[in-house]
Structure 1
């Protein structure tokens, strides 16, 4: 039996949570000129059928995240905003992935990562009651949730010293990710408390600003609950010139890997140049949040239909 009634209740709770904290709900387009340049994400092209498309019309892609458009709204002065929408990522199907899924994104101008982490942990506590129960396990998700830097996690669980972790992230990304997936994340899954993993290497955060006191790392965090990566949050990069350089790097890397190379979103960069305020933001896998609140790690249990059920 699908847990759809519980999902509907959590959806209402989430909206009430953000509205009670002064956030405005927004809606941005699903089909966009650039779906994002993250090297590890691939998009679906939205191909019109049955109509004549004017020559020179650029292609549209289904969003992998509403991030670019929401940041444009920040630059226009819209203040605290949130959105619960559908997102699409090709090649993702499993107990925690689906090609079409629900994403919750929220942004706060004039706020840093600590403020965003506080909002996140309070939301998780609201919808779970402070505890996630998975079979005979009970995971404590009450605020304040522990913070653990990525280099501390690698040292504690993989025996890798901080300097070596940062070196791997820059020069041997494959090994960096193998250690993360094979060693660090399984260790995080055994913890009986949720944990924010923070300060990812700057090379692993193309849209986050670098930490002023240590530019080798970025203001990026992820929340892990029972091994489930629940979110990906940033202190947002607002420098248009640096963001363009990172986009060009990502395009070159996608070319090297033989992946589709999407165009740079020039209007997003124009918004940064115009002046997006210092902001923090977070993208939460809403299906994963609902699943954990319902006592499962499988998003299929809380979706009306997964891709292979259609």
Structure 2
């Protein structure tokens, strides 16, 4: 067999991937999670402004298993996880492809701060199981995985790294551009960084903060400038969710 065949050269990467997937499953099983498998084809995707689904006949390939897994959560399954293929239209670049593997998990009676703690424990466990220990090499630097991981609010990140405040960026319609160009490349360069409390309009499915309803209880995790996780406290008010879905649909049509 020709050693220069691309699939042959990827053997080590595939073995490492298999080890990582096994470590992820072991973590969730050890923490009393049930592994779920939900349909890949769904009648309608969630109306999210920045995510487009790929049609499959009269239905769609799911962009994530979120909607189906939330039905399980509502049915009383308290701790569930899934590793599955997902599809999103128009996402191709150095960091994105239209078809990819996604880990999704849910636990009832918890909020985004609980999930930060669990996310930190998950990655540390996977790194240990895979023989990486507390230091992960990435693009010529070592990322320290030992606790505590950095936690900064979105507002603080804009004040620290961007040329406008968070409010100034929103007013100028520059929020996403500044996040991508000025903030994200600086996050998680020495140790993983959680960035939390996003503007309410950037958390369509997230619960708003009681003390400040202009902010959503949402976080993203960055390691080496790359976003690895996105999570939030679940919105459980059906009337508010319907209102937000209608708003997202209106934005998509505009």
SS at 1:72's partner residue? helix
SS at 1:154's partner residue? helix
| Cα pair 1:36 1:65 within 8 Å, conserved | no
| Cα pair 1:140 1:194 within 8 Å, conserved | yes
Please give the residue correspondences for 1:259-298 in structure 2 after superposition, counting only pairs within 5 Å: none
Aligned to 2:16: 6
Aligned mates of 2:122, 2:184 — CA distance in 1: 23
Partner deviation per Cα, 1:107-151 (whole Å, 9 max, x = no partner):
010011111111111111122233220242001122331110000
| Cα pair 1:65 1:87 within 8 Å, conserved | yes
Unaligned runs of 5+ residues in structure 2 are: 1-8, 128-132
Aligned to 2:185: 186
Q: State the TM-score, normalizing by the size of structure 2.
A: 0.90
Aligned mates of 1:84, 1:103 — CA distance in 2: 6
| Cα pair 1:125 1:143 within 8 Å, conserved | no
| Cα pair 1:121 1:142 within 8 Å, conserved | no
SS at 2:213's partner residue? strand
SS at 1:184's partner residue? helix
Aligned to 1:42: 52
Distance apart, 1:180 and its partner CA: 1.0
SS at 2:182's partner residue? helix
Distance apart, 1:167 and its partner CA: 5.4
Aligned mates of 1:184, 1:135 — CA distance in 2: 18
Aligned to 2:208: 210
Aligned to 1:82: 81
Distance apart, 1:27 and its partner CA: 0.7
| Higher relative contact order (CA closer than 8 Å, sequence separation 6+) | 1
Unaligned runs of 5+ residues in structure 1 are: 48-58, 257-310
Please give the residue correspondences for 1:1-310 in structure 2 after superposition, counting only pairs within 5 Å: 1-2=9-10, 3-47=13-57, 59-128=58-127, 129-161=133-165, 165-166=166-167, 168-169=169-170, 171-173=171-173, 175-188=174-187, 191-256=189-254
| Cα pair 1:88 1:99 within 8 Å, conserved | yes
Q: State the TM-score, normalizing by the size of structure 1.
A: 0.74
SS at 1:7's partner residue? helix
Aligned mates of 1:28, 1:130 — CA distance in 2: 34
Distance apart, 1:159 and its partner CA: 4.6
- Structure 1 runs of 4+ with >4 Å offset: none
The worse-fitting range, judged by mean Cα deviation, of 204-213 and 140-149 is: 140-149
Aligned mates of 1:65, 1:242 — CA distance in 2: 22
Aligned mates of 1:157, 1:247 — CA distance in 2: 32
Aligned mates of 1:176, 1:38 — CA distance in 2: 17
Distance apart, 1:182 and its partner CA: 1.5
SS at 1:18's partner residue? helix
